[in-house]
Amino acid sequence: MIKHVVCFKLNEGESPLKAKEVLLSMIGNVPTAKSIQVRINELKSPRNYDVMLEVILDDFAALDVYQQDEYHCSVVKKYLQAVTEKSIAMDFTL
């Protein structure tokens, strides 16, 4: 199993709740994602990111498919790229 983690620092004024809603919309729409969880940061600090995505996938091949998934790219990535200042990611074996 692979865990794909992405943290998003949103542009000023963007809603973490809306970002969470869009990320969670992958449930049922992105078949390679076995589990999707989204967390919103509760401490406001300049060094903190606003939203964290955790996706569980079977393996790195499934991660590659996930990265190219039509829904993920056309809905989720498109939205997040428009509202995000920067992001960081980690991918690792569980």
Q: What is the pTM of this model?
A: 0.95
Q: What is the pLDDT tens value at each position of the chain, 94 positions in all? A: 999 999 999 999 999 999 999 999 999 999 999 999 999 999 988 899 999 999 999 999 999 999 999 999 999 999 999 999 999 999 999 9
Evaluate whether 81 touches 90 at the Cβ level (below 8 Å): no
Q: Taking Cα atoms as reference points, which of 4, 26, 5, 19 lies closest to residue 84? A: 19
Domain 2-93, CATH: 3.30.70.100
- Cα angle, residue 92 at apex, residues 21 and 37 outer, rounded to 5°: 20
Beta-strand runs (E) in 1-94: 2-10, 35-40, 51-57, 84-93
- Cα angle, residue 94 at apex, residues 88 and 41 outer, rounded to 5°: 40
